[in-house]
Structure 1
Amino acid sequence: MELMTERYFQKPLRLSHSASNLPDIVQYARSGSSGRFDDIAEGSYPAIYTHRNIRSFAPWRPKSHFSPDRLSYFNDTKSAKSLGPIVNVTGDSLGLHELEGLRIPSIYSAARNALYTRYTPADWTRGNLTRLSNSEQAMKRAEHIRENGERLGVEADDRIKRAQQEVGRLLGQRINDINYMKHELNNEIDALVNEMNKLNESKRIAEKAFAEIENPLHITQECLYHREKRQSTDLVHDQPEKALLKEIDGIKICQEQIKNIINRATAQLSLCRSVQHELEQDSSDKFRALQLDQLAHQLRNSSANIALYGDIEKLEKWMSVPEKWAEHTSANLKRSQAERAASRSIREAIEHCLGSTFSKIRDLWSSTNACLSQRIQETMEAKNRIQVQLEKINQELFDVEKNMEYLKRCIADKQAPLKVARTRLDLRNRRPNIELCHDDPHER
């Protein structure tokens, strides 16, 4: 009270020692302004106080507290009477002139009414012991929780360190695996590119050979065309003609074989390019994965640009497994090796085809030349025989003509004897009668 009065009033209070003149807090509680005291007191103490719900029998509890907002000054007596008992409102017999218009609860009445509700010293001791025991148990539980937390923290740090070391080791192994696979892919790409270059060269040679075969074919066709100019009985279906037709058929067959092998080489080059694209794509993916894994392998707890990235687990269903990863690369390598083997087979087929083609064309050309040579020889022999016979015939004709001239001269020379003979016959035919005899002179 003294503190409150000293806070709001500068002069000391002249209080009376008579308890009967103090205001009664029970009477004050009956007024309409006691609700705020009840609200403050209710629920302010723990459950160990069994009398917390008894309001009227515990005036010493905090509901008897009053704050500066409980103080009010009034200008008229009517307003003071409407709010309950007021200390010395009309007189100054108690000497409380400074408290005029101030409502103060009765401390004496509160102490008197609380005599029946106070705790005993045993209750006080027991309450202290209970609080100490509860606090000790709470401290032990807190210490146990703290120790468990520290132990879990240490274990978590240890597990995380071991996990990071294991992940680092696995990343290192993964980097080695990717490096090995990438090295194998690069070697296979180089081998495939070399094989493709060789196949391109073989294909170019085959195309050049196919173009060069046109010349023998054209020559053979020209030979047949010129042989069609033969006349009469010389236009015969002889061995050279058969050889020329056979050579044309053989050259066309060789051209068809070379064309087929060129088409095979073209298709194989397309397959090799497809495999090369797959290998290069796989190598590029592994190069990118190698960069990312190396970057991940270099990350530490103190590294920059580390964060709690979200939606990482959603990619799990799209990820491949190491077995599928290895099978994919192995399948690409096996396919490349198979295509390289097929390319080598085609190159060998091209070499064999060109060799057999040239050999066959050479054999056909030799056979045709032999037939033509033989036919030329036969023709030359026939011509020579005819030429000799022609010379003989010409000589005979000359002799016949010469003989004819001789005979003509002989005939001319015989005109005189003929005339003599005919004249003799004419003369003898003039013989008369029986003298006209067919005698020996007439016979001659």
Structure 2
Amino acid sequence: MNLTKIPENALVVLPPAPARFTLNEWYLNNRERFRCVLDQQQLADKILGESDRLREQVTELCGLQKKDVDNKLKEKVLDIEFIKGEIELQRKEVCTELDNLETYLERINDAANSLREKCLKICKKCVALREFRLGIELCHDDVERELLKEVDVITGAQKLLQRVAEEASEQVRRLRSTIYFMDRDLENKENVLKIDQRNLILAETDLSLSMYHGFTPLDPANITYEEWEEFTVRNIENAGKELTSARQMRSYVDTLLKQVIEDLWNQYNIVNDSFRRRIEETKEAKTKMEIQHSEVVRQANEMTRNIHRLQKDLAEKEGFMALAHTRLGNRAQRPGMELCRDMAGVFLESSIRDLREFMVGVQSQLAEAQACLRYLLKTQIQLEEDINIKTNTLKIDEVECMTMRQGMDYHSF
């Protein structure tokens, strides 16, 4: 059997014959189709109407929401601009106050430096110079006490100014810190202002819009509006407090400098008055000593001449004494009864006694005159030393100290 011819003789499978329907079934099917079509059309009309209503509602809602958001953004922008203006105004006042306080700090430092480099050195140099007074002039007088008191006043003023300078420096630091935080706040608000202003000009048709498909919250803000407002108000209030503190500090510095300068001038005038009184006393004492010196010199010269006269009188009286002795010696050689006690002998003996008493008196007077001359010369030397000492004191007090003190200048700087 030939196997190659089997496919040609294979059987063909025919589909079953279609079902047959009655005429009623045909009418029923048509009515059912018409009813389904009508129901579908009604549903479509209902969906179309609902879609139009919903679309209009959504469109209206989106418009209202956009309008509300725009209004809120405008309000936020206005709030930020107002607050930013307040902060900028406050910052300007803080900067002005900072410049003023730094100027006051320079005044304090200038005053302290002037006291240390000029006035205190002059006072201490005056105290040191007065140590070169000589003799009795090296005494604890009013000038020395007032000078030492002036040194204490200047030192106390320096310490007070140093303490105030530290307080002013701390206030300057706080003002700078306030400016720093205000600058940060202004920078943040400027960025927010740019963001919200950009949001205001955005429209739903812009090509730069984008959709977010993430799962984390798109707005990570976790700070309430009340907290934000409180933070801003607190910054402004802190700036106001620092401004008040700085102004009080400047007022205190003005009062302090005025009081310190007044105290320094008072002590300066007291010291100068003490110097003037001491100089007048020294000049008066020196003048009296010079007058006494002139009188002592005159008396010493007169005493010298007196001694010369006494010595001359002694020499002359010694001649008379020798004459009387010679006469008595000659008369002692009378012979016999001629060696009698006559009136001539009595008068010679009397004259010798008188001359002897006179010479003893003159010699005693001469010794007193010589002793007095020695005391006068000693007094003259002492007066000359005292005059030189007082001249040295006047040179120190009037020429050196008072000249240096003219360079002391106290002012409020």
When normalised by structure 1's length, the TM-score is 0.70
Q: Which residue of 2 aligns with 1:92?
A: none
Residue type of the alignment partner of 1:79: P
Work out whether residues 150 and 268 of structure 2, in 8 Å CA contact, stay in contact via their aligned partners in 1.
yes
Q: Which residue of 1 aligns with 2:69?
A: 167
Q: Distance in 2 between matches of 1:353 and 1:323?
A: 44
Work out whether residues 324 and 348 of structure 2, in 8 Å CA contact, stay in contact via their aligned partners in 1.
no
Matches within 5 A, 1:264-275: 264-275=167-178
Select 1:350's aligned residue among 229, 235, 253. 253
Q: Distance in 2 between matches of 1:307 and 1:431?
A: 176
Q: Deviations over 1:144-195 (max 9, x none)?
A: 3332222222111110000000011111111111110111111112111111
Q: Which residue of 2 aligns with 1:325?
A: 228
Q: Distance in 1 between matches of 2:307 and 2:114?
A: 65
Q: State the 1:223 CA deviation.
A: 1.1
* RMSD of equivalent CA atoms: 3.0
- Percent identical: 23
- The secondary structure found in structure 2 opposite 1:420 is helix
Q: State the 1:293 CA deviation.
A: 1.1
Q: Which residue of 2 aligns with 1:397?
A: 300
Q: State the 1:294 CA deviation.
A: 1.2
Q: Distance in 2 between matches of 1:309 and 1:429?
A: 170
Q: Distance in 1 between matches of 2:30 and 2:208?
A: 56
Q: Deviations over 1:366-394 (max 9, x none)?
A: 00011111111111222222222222222
Q: Which residue of 2 aligns with 1:182?
A: 84
Matched, 1:412 2:353: no
Q: Deviations over 1:187-221 (max 9, x none)?
A: 11211111112112222222222222232222211
Q: State the 1:311 CA deviation.
A: 5.0
Q: Distance in 1 between matches of 2:336 and 2:171?
A: 126
Q: State the 1:118 CA deviation.
A: 4.4
Work out whether residues 429 and 436 of structure 1, in 8 Å CA contact, stay in contact via their aligned partners in 2.
no
Residue type of the alignment partner of 1:201: T
Select 1:383's aligned residue among 265, 282, 286. 286
Q: Distance in 1 between matches of 2:179 and 2:214?
A: 35
* Structure 2: gaps spanning 5 or more residues: 354-413
Q: Which residue of 2 aligns with 1:194?
A: 96
Matches within 5 A, 1:207-218: 207-213=109-115, 214-218=117-121
Residue type of the alignment partner of 1:304: L
Matches within 5 A, 1:243-262: 243-262=146-165
* Structure 1: gaps spanning 5 or more residues: 1-73, 87-102
Select 2:187's aligned residue among 276, 284, 289. 284
Select 1:361's aligned residue among 264, 271, 277. 264
- The secondary structure found in structure 2 opposite 1:306 is coil
Q: Deviations over 1:131-151 (max 9, x none)?
A: 443443343334333322222
Q: Deviations over 1:373-420 (max 9, x none)?
A: 111111122222222222222221111111001111111211211112
Select 1:141's aligned residue among 18, 39, 43. 43
**How many pairs align?**
345
Work out whether residues 123 and 147 of structure 2, in 8 Å CA contact, stay in contact via their aligned partners in 1.
yes
Q: Which residue of 1 aligns with 2:52?
A: 150
When normalised by structure 2's length, the TM-score is 0.75
Residue type of the alignment partner of 2:6: K
Residue type of the alignment partner of 2:311: K
Return 269-278 or 307-316, whichever deviates more.
307-316
Q: Which residue of 1 aligns with 2:140?
A: 237
- The secondary structure found in structure 1 opposite 2:209 is coil
Of the two structures, which has the highest relative contact order with CA contacts closer than 8 Å and spacing of 6 or more? 2
Q: State the 1:309 CA deviation.
A: 3.9
Q: State the 1:265 CA deviation.
A: 2.1
The alpha-carbon distance between structure 1 residues 195 and 312, as it changes in their structure 2 partners (threshold 3 A), is farther
Work out whether residues 261 and 349 of structure 1, in 8 Å CA contact, stay in contact via their aligned partners in 2.
no
Q: Distance in 1 between matches of 2:279 and 2:242?
A: 53
Work out whether residues 94 and 243 of structure 2, in 8 Å CA contact, stay in contact via their aligned partners in 1.
yes
- The secondary structure found in structure 2 opposite 1:314 is coil
Q: Distance in 1 between matches of 2:123 and 2:109?
A: 21
Q: Distance in 2 between matches of 1:159 and 1:383?
A: 112
Q: Distance in 2 between matches of 1:80 and 1:295?
A: 83
Matches within 5 A, 1:80-119: 80=8, 83=10, 86=11, 103=12, 105=14, 118-119=20-21
Q: Distance in 1 between matches of 2:279 and 2:189?
A: 73
Q: Which residue of 1 aligns with 2:398?
A: none
Q: Which residue of 2 aligns with 1:125?
A: 27
The alpha-carbon distance between structure 1 residues 211 and 134, as it changes in their structure 2 partners (threshold 3 A), is same
Select 1:295's aligned residue among 173, 198, 203. 198
